[in-house]
């Protein structure tokens, strides 16, 4: 059965499940913050403190980095390799077709109250013995797990267990492949020294065209120009970039394998790795020139951190665009499609331009991007240039089958408010970064500070929501359904499409989890009335409220 034929109550229950869990977590968080101070955490039993520290530090330590990376890879593997099978299992399982089970709702409420009571008792009591603390921790985690499962069982029905059992081989296989890919990345990184010699000589050869007096010290893997030195270490060897380009291009070819001619299309992958190696030499040469002739601070703190991503995006996007233009790589069907207009340009070009300009201006500044206004003005110009396409495809009237009502009209505003609250809960405060940004702004003139803040608000509240929703919900979420994405309505519901667009959206943010959840929320806003503009409104509301929070409470780190 197609998802478009499912009862609306089924779809809403599926969307309500994570919303209820989030609201319960947010309520618990707010209540505990009102009752206890952060210092009370130091009084917790040892087992509890160790668990909190493990959860806080896990994403930053060695094991956490590769585990999180492996899970993200697993998500992509599952969607790319077995997305169709997952969707068929999901559609055939009958999940959510039964009425909500009151008994399981009661179990959920009881288990939730038990876990809350345990947390409150532990925070309010001092001198708990280690054995009691371990027992209470086990009971708390078990009751929380039972609470989550009971709510899912109540909303999704008895078919939930059958569905989980049916997809367990896919989940296990995806996790195995994803974590293996992450492990292989660490193994490849360990061979960085093999590339230091070629990278060193390539960089020196490029510099010969632009400068004189270059000193190369092979024993120390170092290049010196006018007292500015660059040492070729693991981060400069280029091996990580080559691996990323190869994996990205390989995944792209597999996803769009029906549009390429094999085996000749496989030449794109080694070509990408070679070009990535050459681009890395060009990047290091530019780094030396900027540090020697412009500003060492810009070279170390701005250019060095941003140029790698700039070259990665340039190589991958450039090769993909070139491969799609060259008839030698494409199938006959794709060549026929290519002769027509490219509707994807209106959805992707503003977003790509925003990223590209940001990488360039960010590479030439230290700290805040003082050229932020250039991005805003340039992208506004692109949006104006594509206004005809948006008027025809993005701003259509509601279809006869669209959902309506006053509460539906308020949905994007409510979703935006919820995402704003979610962001404040999940994104930790970075006091050092906030203080640094505030100090830098205070050093500017009053006019410069006002102009920069005004453009930042304009970009954050209006430009960014529009271009990101065009790219992620307008293009990517519909592109999963097929090559002719313009024939797919904005309100079409598909778990793989929402997950893929939300994960890609989350990867664009420093807090990946918060970004993924926000992406799912904006997809929900788009689905309610089948309007992409509702997702833009929800996104804009969330970002505008964050701007207010930044200015009212000095949370500059949110920018």
- Pairing mode, if any, of strands 228-231 and 222-225? antiparallel
Answer whether 230's CB lies under 8 Å from 287's CB.
yes
Give CA 17 to chain center in angstroms. Answer: 22
Neighbours of 471 (CB within 10 A): 24
- Classify 228 as helix, strand or coil: strand
Provide the sign of the torsion angle of the four alpha carbons 96, 100, 104, 110, taken in this order: positive
Peptide bond preceding 263 in cis form (omega within 30 of 0): yes
> Which ranges in 125-158 belong to alpha helices (H)?
130-156
Answer whether 518's CB lies under 8 Å from 472's CB.
no
Provide the sign of the torsion angle of the four alpha carbons 440, 445, 448, 453, taken in this order: positive
Q: What strands, in cross-sheet order, belong to the sheet with 215-217?
A: 215-217, 222-225, 228-231
Looking at the DSSP bridge assignments, the partners of residue 49 are none
> Which ranges in 294-399 belong to alpha helices (H)?
296-297, 304-325, 332-338, 345-363, 372-385, 387-393
Looking at the DSSP bridge assignments, the partners of residue 217 are 222
Domain ranges of the chain: 3-185, 210-340, 387-558
Q: Would you state the pLDDT for residue 2?
A: 45
Can you tell me the distance from the alpha carbon of 114 to that of 136, in angstroms, rounded to the nearest whole number? 11
Can you tell me the distance from the alpha carbon of 134 to that of 125, in angstroms, rounded to the nearest whole number? 15
Q: What is the DSSP string of 524-553?
A: HHHHHHT-HHHHHHHHHHHHHHHHHHHHHH
Q: In angstroms, what CA-CA distances link 225 with 4, 282, 291, 300?
A: 64, 15, 9, 15
- Separation of first and last alpha carbons in the chain: 44
Number of alpha helices (DSSP H) and beta strands (DSSP E) in the chain: 23, 3
Can you tell me the distance from the alpha carbon of 23 to that of 517, in angstroms, rounded to the nearest whole number? 13
Residue ranges of the chain with per-residue pLDDT less than 70: 1-16, 22, 26, 29-30, 32-34, 36-69, 72-73, 76-77, 79-81, 83-84, 96-98, 181-182, 185-186, 298-299, 301-310, 332-342, 363-366, 396-408, 482-483, 493
Is residue 487 classed exposed, middle or buried when 0-12, 13-18 and 19+ CB atoms within 10 A define those classes? Answer: exposed
Answer whether 527's CB lies under 8 Å from 415's CB.
no
- The most distant pair of C-alpha atoms in the chain lies apart, rounded to whole Å, by 80
Answer whether 86's CB lies under 8 Å from 170's CB.
yes
265 closest CA partner among 315, 327, 316: 327
Provide the sign of the torsion angle of the four alpha carbons 396, 402, 404, 408, taken in this order: negative
State the pTM of this model: 0.56
């Amino acid at each position: 059965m197609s998802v478009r034929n499912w009862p609306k109550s089924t779809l809403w229950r599926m969307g309500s499940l994570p919303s209820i869990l989030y609201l319960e977590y947010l309520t618990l968080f707010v209540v505990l913050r009102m009752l206890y101070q952060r210092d009370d955490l130091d009084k917790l039993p040892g087992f509890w403190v160790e668990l909190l520290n493990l959860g806080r530090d896990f994403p930053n330590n060695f094991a956490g980095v590769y585990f999180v990376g492996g899970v993200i890879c697993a998500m992509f593997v599952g969607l790319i390799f077995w997305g169709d099978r997952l969707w068929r299992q999901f559609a055939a399982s009958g999940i959510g077709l039964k009425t909500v089970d009151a008994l399981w709702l009661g179990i959920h409420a009881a288990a939730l109250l038990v876990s809350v009571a345990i947390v409150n008792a532990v925070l309010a009591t001092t001198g708990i013995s280690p054995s009691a603390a371990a027992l209470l921790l086990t009971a708390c985690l078990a009751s929380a797990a039972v609470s989550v499962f009971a709510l899912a069982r109540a909303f999704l029905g008895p078919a939930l267990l059958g569905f989980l059992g049916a997809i367990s081989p896919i989940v296990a296989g995806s996790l195995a492949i994803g974590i293996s890919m992450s492990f292989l990345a660490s193994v490849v990184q360990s061979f960085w020294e093999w590339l230091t010699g070629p990278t060193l000589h390539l960089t020196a050869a490029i510099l010969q065209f632009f400068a004189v007096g270059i000193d190369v010290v092979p024993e120390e893997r170092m290049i010196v120009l006018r007292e500015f030195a660059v040492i070729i270490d693991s981060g400069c060897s280029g091996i990580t970039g080559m691996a990323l380009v190869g994996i990205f291009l390989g995944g792209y070819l597999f996803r769009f394998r029906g549009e390429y001619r094999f085996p000749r299309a496989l030449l794109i992958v080694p070509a990408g790795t070679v070009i990535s190696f050459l681009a890395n030499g060009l990047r290091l040469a530019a780094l030396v020139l900027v540090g020697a002739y412009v500003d060492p601070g810009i070279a170390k703190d701005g250019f060095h951190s941003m140029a790698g991503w700039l070259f990665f995006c340039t190589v991958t996007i450039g090769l993909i665009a070139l491969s799609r233009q060259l008839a030698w790589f494409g199938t006959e069907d794709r060549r026929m499609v290519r002769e027509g207009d490219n509707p994807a340009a209106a959805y992707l070009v503003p977003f790509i331009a925003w990223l590209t300009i940001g990488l360039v201006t960010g590479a030439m500044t230290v700290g805040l991007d003082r050229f932020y206004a250039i991005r805003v003005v340039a992208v506004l110009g692109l949006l104006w240039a594509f206004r005809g396409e948006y008027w025809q495809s993005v701003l259509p009237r509601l279809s006869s089958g669209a959902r309506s009502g006053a509460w539906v009209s308020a949905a994007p505003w409510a979703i935006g408010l919820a995402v704003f609250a979610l962001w404040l809960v999940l994104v930790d405060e970075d006091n050092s970064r906030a203080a640094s940004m505030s100090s830098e702004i205070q050093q500017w003139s009053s006019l410069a500070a006002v102009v920069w803040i005004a453009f930042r608000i304009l970009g954050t509240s209006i430009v960014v929501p529009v271009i990101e929703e065009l790219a992620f919900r307008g293009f990517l979420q519909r592109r999963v359904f097929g090559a002719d994405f313009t024939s797919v309505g904005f309100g079409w519901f598909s778990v793989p499409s929402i997950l893929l667009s939300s994960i890609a959206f989350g990867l664009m943010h420093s807090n990946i989890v918060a970004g993924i959840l926000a992406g799912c929320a904006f997809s929900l806003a788009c689905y309610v009335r089948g309007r992409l503009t509702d997702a833009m409104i929800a996104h804009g509301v969330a970002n505008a409220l964050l701007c207010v929070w930044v200015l009212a409470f000095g949370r500059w780190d949110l920018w």
